[in-house]
């Protein structure tokens, strides 16, 4: 296993070493795929977009200035491509509108929900996943980067191309929307 | 602190983005605000439910397949933008050399090629005479002209040498006019020695 740090591999990839870039891709493919899958909730789209993200990064690696971490740069490409993809497909229009007072039962249960795993935490995860999928795209991207991938506000800001304050505000708004959507369910199952 | 500001700080605190001072002020507000405490409790449960939120649930074989396909696409991408390899260079070199030879041949044939002249083969004296006699044939005028040329050439060859001898320099008056008195005296003395008389008079 290649133990060289990312920045060394990036420098070699910038000089045209395909193997170095392949190693970088191996290290980060799951993160990128996970982010895109969280945005699209579709494996086929996540696969296609993830491959395109790495090809785009490979073509433009010479333009990577190294001021941020390599994975942050990858995230930025991934977020931009996914947002463009969703905009092009018009999937945002097809999504159910986000109604804060809509009872959770009216949204139907997630297809991924399995009766076998119907513990309270398992159902909560399904409910949260449904609610996150219904967030506006930019809020969803921020929420996934910070709450799912564990990026700091500063790292998420670099990945999203916005300020830390914007990330903080989006997270606040996203949580308010999720809280409103899940309020009835949370009250029903109790603390 | 107002509840809206407190809710923003609760969100920041969940992300680990709240400084110590602001965190203290938030805690003071929460102690006196049950609504914000309930809000924080709800967000904490949502945060717990968000764990593994976007886990695609792929098996290791799926990741390996993803990696293989990506490496294949990277290799094709590299080949597409790679400079031409040695075989391609040789092909271009041979094509270029062939074209250069062709162009040179055309230019040579059209412009530079030396024009060949059919020089007559030199004849021996006997062959020359035989050829002339053949051409004269029965033509009396040509035969007479040929005889006259022969006679003239013989006459030229037999002309006495004295006719072509240069005039002695002493007979040239310009020679004597160009001499100084000393030179004339020297010549006179030499003639006197040679001829044994008074020399120049």
Looking at this predicted complex, what is its ipTM?
0.79
As a whole number of angstroms, the distance between CA B182 and CA B79 comes to 105
Q: What is the pLDDT of residue B99?
A: 92
pLDDT in tens, A35-58: 999 999 889 999 999 999 999 999
| Span of A15-24, A101-110, B82-91 with lowest mean pLDDT | A101-110
B54 touches chain A (CB under 8 A): yes
Residue A174 has pLDDT above 90, yes or no: yes
Considering only CB atoms, which chain A residues are within 8 Å of B82?
none
Residue A144: DSSP 8-state: I
Residue A190: which region, alpha, beta or left (left: phi > 0; alpha: psi -120 to 50)?
left
Q: Which domains does chain A have, with CATH numbers?
A: 1-94 (1.10.1740.10), 96-191 (1.10.10.10)
d(CA B89, CA A51): 33
Provide the token pair at B46.
């949502």
- If you average pLDDT over residues A108-112, what whole number do you get? 39
pLDDT attached to residue B129: 81
Contact A173, A140 (CB under 8 A): no
Q: Hey, are the CB atoms on B17 and A152 less than 8 Å from each other?
A: yes
Residues A16-23, mean pLDDT to the nearest whole number: 89
- Tracing tokens 């996150």 back to the chain, one arrives at A132
A-B contacts (CB, under 8 Å): 113
Beta carbons of A124 and B45 less than 8 Å apart: yes
Cα A92 versus chain centre, distance? 15
Alpha-carbon gap, residue A4 to A26, rounded angstroms:
13
B139 — phi, psi (to 5°)? -80, 110
pTM over 0.90: no
State the pLDDT at residue A6.
86
Interface of A with B in 35-74 (CB under 8 A): 35, 37-38, 43, 46-47, 50-51, 54-55, 58-59
The pLDDT, as a whole number, for residue A185 is 86
- How large is the C-alpha radius of gyration of chain B? 63
Q: Give per-residue pLDDT as tens, B98-147.
A: 999 999 988 888 877 777 667 777 778 788 888 888 888 888 888 888 88
Mean pLDDT on A62-85:
90
Q: Is the pLDDT of residue A117 over 50?
A: no
Q: Which of A121, A146, A179 sits opposite B39 (nearest CB)?
A: A179
Task: State the DSSP string of A23-92.
Answer: HHHHHHHHHHHHHHHHHH--HHHHHHHHHHHHHHHHHTGGG--SSS-HHHHHHHHHHHHHHHHHHHHTHH
Which percentage of chain A shows pLDDT scores above 70? 82
């Amino acid at each position: 296993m290649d133990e060289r740090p990312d920045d060394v591999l990036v420098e070699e990839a910038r000089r045209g070493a395909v193997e170095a870039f392949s190693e970088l891709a191996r290290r980060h493919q799951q993160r990128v795929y996970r982010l895109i899958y969280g945005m699209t909730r579709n494996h086929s789209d996540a696969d296609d977009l993830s491959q395109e993200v790495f090809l785009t990064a490979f073509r433009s690696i010479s333009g990577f200035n190294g001021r941020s971490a390599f994975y942050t740069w990858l995230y930025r490409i991934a977020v931009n491509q996914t947002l463009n993809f969703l905009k092009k497909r018009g999937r945002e229009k097809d999504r159910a509108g986000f109604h804060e007072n809509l009872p959770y039962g009216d949204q139907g249960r997630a297809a991924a929900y399995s009766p076998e795993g119907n513990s309270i935490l398992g159902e909560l995860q399904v409910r949260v996943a449904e609610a996150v999928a219904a967030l506006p795209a930019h809020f969803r991207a921020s929420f996934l980067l910070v709450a799912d991938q564990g990026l700091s506000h500063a790292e998420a800001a670099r990945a999203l191309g916005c300020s830390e304050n914007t990330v903080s505000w989006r997270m606040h708004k996203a949580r308010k929307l999720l809280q409103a959507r899940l309020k009835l369910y949370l009250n029903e199952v109790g603390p | 602190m107002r509840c809206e500001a407190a809710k923003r700080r609760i969100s920041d605190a969940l992300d680990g983005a709240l400084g110590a001072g602001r965190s203290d002020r938030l805690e003071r507000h929460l102690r006196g605000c049950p609504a914000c405490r309930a809000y924080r409790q709800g967000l904490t449960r949502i945060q717990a439910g968000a764990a593994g939120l976007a886990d695609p649930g792929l098996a290791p074989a799926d990741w390996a397949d993803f990696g293989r396909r990506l490496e294949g696409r990277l290799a094709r991408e590299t080949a597409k933008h790679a400079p031409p390899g040695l075989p391609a260079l040789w092909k271009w070199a041979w094509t270029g050399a062939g074209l250069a030879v062709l162009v040179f041949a055309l230019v040579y044939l059209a412009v530079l090629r030396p024009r060949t002249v059919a020089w007559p083969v030199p004849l021996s004296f006997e062959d020359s005479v035989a050829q002339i006699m053949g051409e004269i044939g029965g033509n009396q005028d040509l035969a007479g002209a040929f005889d006259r040329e022969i006679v003239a050439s013989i006459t030229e060859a037999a002309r006495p040498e004295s006719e072509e001898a240069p005039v002695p320099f002493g007979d040239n008056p310009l020679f004597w006019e160009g001499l100084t008195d000393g030179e004339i005296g020297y010549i006179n003395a030499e003639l006197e020695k040679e001829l044994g008389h008074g020399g120049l008079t």
